[in-house]
Amino acid sequence: VVNFLFYFRTDEAEPIGALLLEHCRVTKEEENVFSISFIEEPERKYCFECDSEQQCQEWIEALKRASYEFMRRSLIFYRNEIQKMTGKDPLEQYGISEEARFQL
């Protein structure tokens, strides 16, 4: 959900925890296995096993795109592209075009 990854026990409906997908590294470990580790706590590592190599790659790509920083960079990129094409800042109509979080 957005930039949180909730994890569950296989026999329970409620999550037992959540990982905030910020300042983390998603790494391919071995066939059908990837891990999430955290830059500030490199000893904290979560390993996940998938049913197939394709499923593993899909998880890795989705998790890499889930961070706030990735979404912010994407917004800035597309904002600049739209501005080049139209000559207008698409965020201006919302009154947020000058906010620091939307600047490079």
What pTM, to 2 d.p., does this model score? 0.70
Burial group, residue 96, by CB count within 10 angstroms (0-12, 13-18, 19+): exposed
What is the structure's pLDDT at 72?
84
Residue-level pLDDT at 1: 84
Neighbours of 70 (CB within 10 A): 15
pLDDT, tens digit only, all 104 positions of the chain: 889 999 898 899 999 999 999 889 999 999 999 999 998 888 889 999 999 999 999 999 999 888 888 888 888 899 899 999 999 988 888 888 787 777 76
Domain spans, the chain = 24-88
